[in-house]
Homo-oligomer: A and B are copies of this chain.
Amino acid sequence: MSTTTPWKLAGRAEKMNPSVIREILKVTEKPGIISFAGGLPSPKTFPIEPFRTACDKVLREDGQAALQYAASEGYAPLRQAVADLLPWEVDPAQVLITTGSQQALDLIGKVLIDKDSKILVETPTYLGAIQAFAPMEPNVVGVACDDEGVDIDDLVRKAEGARFLYVLPNFQNPTGRTMSEARRAALSQRAAELNLPLVEDNPYGDLWFDTPPAPSLTSRNPEGCLYMGSFSKVLAPGLRLGYIVAPKAIMPKLLQAKQAADLHTPGFNQRIVAEVMKGHFLDRHVPTIRSLYKTQRDAMLAALKREMPEGTAWNSPDGGMFIWARLPEGLEAISLLPKAVEKNVAFVPGAAFYADNADQRTLRLSFVTASVEQINTGIKALAEAIREHQPAKEIAPLEI
Task: Write the residues of chain A forming the contact surface with B, with a CB cutoff of 8 angstroms.
Answer: 1-2, 4-13, 16, 18-19, 39-41, 43-44, 46, 48, 51-52, 55-56, 59-60, 63-70, 99-100, 102-103, 106, 110-115, 117, 128, 131-132, 134-136, 163, 189, 191-193, 195-197, 223-224, 232, 236-240, 247, 249-250, 252-253, 256-257, 259-269
Q: A11-B114, A46-B63 are in contact. Are A68 and B237 (CB under 8 A)?
A: yes
Residue of B with least CB distance to A250: B7
* Residue among A13, A41, A44, A223 having the largest count of chain B Cβ atoms under 10 Å: A13
* Residues of chain B with a CB closer than 8 A to A264's CB: 240
A236 touches B40 (CB 8 A): no
Q: How many copies of this chain does one complex carry?
A: 2
- Do the beta carbons of A106 and B51 come within 8 Å of each other? no
Docked Cα-Cα span, A191 to B7, in Å, equals 12
A263 in contact with B128 (CB, 8 Å): yes
| Alpha-carbon distance between A131 and B2 when the two chains are bound, in angstroms | 32
Instruction: Output the residue of A7, A70, A247 with the most chain B CB within 10 A.
Output: A7
7 pairs across A/B with beta carbons < 8 Å? A6-B197, A46-B63, A46-B67, A52-B60, A55-B55, A110-B135, A266-B269
Indicate if the CB atoms of A6 and B63 lie closer than 8 Å: no
Pairwise interchain contact A48-B59, C-beta atoms closer than 8 A: yes
CB distance from A243 to the nearest CB of B (A): 13
B239 touches A7 (CB 8 A): no
How far apart are the CA atoms of A240 and B68 in the complex, in Å? 10
Query: In the complex the two chains form, is A69's CB within 8 Å of B46's CB?
Result: no
Q: Is the CB of A16 within 8 A of B253?
A: yes
Pairwise interchain contact B40-A68, C-beta atoms closer than 8 A: yes
Given the known interface contacts A261-B106, A268-B238, the answer about A52 and B59 at a Cβ–Cβ threshold of 8 Å is yes
Q: A55-B52, A115-B115, A238-B67 are in contact. Are A7 and B249 (CB under 8 A)?
A: yes
Beta-carbon contact of B68 and A260 below 8 Å: no
Query: Is the pair B249, A268 in contact by a Cβ cutoff of 8 Å?
Result: no
Asked if A46 and B64 sit within 8 Å, CB to CB, the answer is yes
Q: Are A113 and B260 in contact (CB under 8 A)?
A: no
Q: Is the CB of A2 within 8 A of B103?
A: no
Shortest Cβ distance from residue A304 to the other chain B in the assembled complex, whole angstroms:
26
Choose among A41, A63, A232 the residue with the greatest number of B CB atoms under 10 Å from its CB: A63
- In the complex, besides A9-B111, A68-B236, 16 extra interface pairs with C-beta distance below 8 angstroms are A2-B192, A2-B193, A6-B196, A8-B163, A10-B113, A10-B117, A13-B111, A19-B259, A43-B65, A46-B68, A52-B56, A67-B237, A67-B239, A106-B262, A238-B267, A240-B265
Assess whether A67 is in contact with B55, with CB atoms less than 8 Å apart.
no
B269 with A10: CB separation less than 8 A: no
A340 CA to B247 CA in the complex, in Å? 37
Complex contact B51–A131 (CB within 8 A): no
Q: State whether B48 touches A64 (Cβ < 8 A).
A: yes
A114 partner residues in chain B, CB cutoff 8 A: 10-12
A65–B238 Cα gap in the complex (Å)? 8
CB within 8 Å for A110 and B13 given contacts A55-B59, A197-B6, A263-B102: yes
- Contact partners of A6 in chain B: CB under 8 A: 191-192, 195-197, 224
Which chain B residues border A260 with CB–CB below 8 Å?
Answer: 102, 106, 128, 131-132, 134-135
The 3 closest A-B CB pairs, nearest first, are A67-B236, A43-B64, A48-B63
| Known contacts A12-B110, A69-B40, A192-B2; A240/B263 CB under 8 A | yes
Q: With A19-B259, A262-B99 known to touch, is A51 a contact of B69 (CB < 8 Å)?
A: no
Q: By the criterion CB–CB under 8 Å, are A13 and B253 in contact?
A: yes
Q: How long is the Cα–Cα vector from A376 to B223 in the complex, in angstroms?
A: 51
Whether A51 contacts B59 in the complex (CB less than 8 A), given A103-B261, A268-B238, A269-B268, comes out as yes
